[in-house]
Amino acid sequence: MNKDRAAGAAKEAVGGIKEKAGKAFGDKKTEMEGKAKKTEGKVQNAVGGAEDAVDEAARDPEKGRW
């Protein structure tokens, strides 16, 4: 797991909490900020996953074949 995956997972968690808090208190702005942070985290996590796959393929060419 690289730094992008870890940071992405953290952003997803914070975004989810913020989104739920916004819903609970009827604060649409906070809810939307939470959704945005959650999406940002998902994208960053996906980028990290792609980087991990490239690193793994570079270390073991057999796994990297199509």
Closest CA to 18 of 48, 39, 43: 39
Instruction: Give the CA count within 13 Å in the CB-facing half-sphere of 48.
Output: 16
pTM for this entry: 0.80
- In which band, very low, low, confident or very high, does the pLDDT at 18 lie, cut at 50, 70 and 90? very high
Q: At what angle do helices 3-25 and 28-59 cross, to 10 degrees?
A: 160
| pLDDT tens per residue, range 32-50 | 999 999 999 999 999 999 9
DSSP 1: -
How many helices, marked H, and strands, marked E, lie in the chain?
2, 0
> Cα-atom radius of gyration of the chain, to the nearest Å?
16
